[in-house]
Amino acid sequence: MSDEVLFSVNPNGVATILLNRPKALNSLSHEMVIAIGEKLREWKRDNSVSIVVMKGAGSKALCAGGDIKSLYEARLSESARRKAENFFAEEYEVDMAVYQFPKPIIACLDGVVMGGGVGLTYGASHRIVTERTKWSMPEMNIGFFPDVGAAYFLNKAPGHAGRYLALTASVIQAQDVLYVNGADIYMESEALERFIEKVDNTDWRHVKVEDILDQLIDEYKTYSSNERKIAPIQSEIDRHFAFETVEEILQSLDSQTSDFNLNVKKLLLSKSPFSLKITLKQMIDGKQKTMKDCFATDLLLAKNFLKHGDFYEGVRSVLIDRDQSPNYEYKHISDVTNDVVDSFFKPISPVSKVDN
């Protein structure tokens, strides 16, 4: 195993997962996902482990997401695509294992927490944000969709804030992460360091872990001074994003002129039309699904996106050539028919534009 992710267990019963790719903002490689899954299975059964701490190396990020650049290779061959499919399958298994882990997991959402980083930590029992937190599901920017269980957890946000965050790929800070139920606790980054040090130095082996942990959190938590941005516009979000087609959302935004309407419409039109329609259906359907069912749908969608040219074009334009000028096959919302969208939610090859 490489040093991309480091594991330790101290004599006090504290196990630590340190994502250790600071130059890559601790983005997740396939090998890291496999290793984390193995450790969670081991620690679940290990009576010497009382608490798990999950954090990122450096001060810039917990985790910026999956290593999408490596997934770009899936376009080259069938074997590369199968390997990418396995990455998603194993990533989602690890994310679900975090939800189901029977012991407290403290996730330090300090710095950038995006995409796969959100998925890895959303199910943790104690999620801590700081003044440095930048939280987002940014997959829409690369012609993909918000995966890692997003249709499950974004639907837990107030009103239609989850749809708004999914479709716009907006980056939010601590106050808003707390507001949309993406975190539980706020600490200043320096306080978080002291808190984790206190956790490491506390003997957890013969105490009521939850009670002592809650007491420690109360000692170090504070209130964020960051301005809330989602709550003040909640009524506007709900007005426009209550609609169940992208066309209706855009028409609603066109119904009156305001900075909010203009900015959000511009954001939406900058995304892949294909991704917009897939994601909206994913979010609507996910509202009625269990966590496991949402992950199953994500795996199906991920496999179909790996066969889809607009995904690779989005990755190319943003992460490879960085020209920010994707030449999508589906250029307009009207190009994406309901049949094309519905086909993506079935375990068959998606219908191509040429076939319609």
Please tell me the distance from the alpha carbon of residue 79 to that of residue 118, in angstroms, as a whole number. Answer: 28
Of 37, 56, 65, 66, the active-site residue reads 66
Is 310 labeled as catalytic in the residue annotation?
Answer: no
In sequence order, what are the beta bridge partners of 102? none
As a whole number of Å, the end-to-end CA separation of the chain is: 48
Task: Name every residue whose Cβ is closer than 8 Å to that of residue 288 and which is 6 or more positions away in sequence.
Answer: none
How far is the CA of 268 from the CAs of 37, 67, 119, in angstroms? 35, 24, 23
Of 67, 91, 95, 139, the active-site residue reads 139
Please tell me the distance from the alpha carbon of residue 11 to that of residue 109, in angstroms, as a whole number. Answer: 25
In sequence order, what are the beta bridge partners of 19? 5, 56
Of 147, 176, 188, 298, the active-site residue reads 147
Please tell me the distance from the alpha carbon of residue 8 to that of residue 53, in angstroms, as a whole number. Answer: 10
Per the structure block, which two tokens stand in for 10? Answer: 């101290």
Q: What sign has the CA pseudo-torsion 67, 69, 70, 75?
A: positive
Helix (H, G, I), strand (E, B) or coil at 136: strand
Is 254 labeled as catalytic in the residue annotation?
Answer: no
Please tell me the distance from the alpha carbon of residue 176 to that of residue 159, in angstroms, as a whole number. Answer: 14
Please tell me the distance from the alpha carbon of residue 330 to that of residue 191, in angstroms, as a whole number. Answer: 48
Is 116 labeled as catalytic in the residue annotation?
Answer: yes
Helix axes 246-254, 259-269, angle to 10 degrees: 150
Task: Name every residue whose Cβ is closer than 8 Å to that of residue 279 and which is 6 or more positions away in sequence.
Answer: 140, 145, 146, 166, 167
Residue whose token pair is 């007005």: 239
- Residue 229 has a CB neighbour count (10 Å cut-off) of 13
In sequence order, what are the beta bridge partners of 126? 106
Is 66 labeled as catalytic in the residue annotation?
Answer: yes
Q: Which helix (H) or strand (E) holds 278?
A: helix 273-286
Of 116, 119, 182, 314, the active-site residue reads 116
Please tell me the distance from the alpha carbon of residue 51 to that of residue 9, in angstroms, as a whole number. Answer: 10
Q: Which residues are catalytic?
A: 66, 116, 139, 147
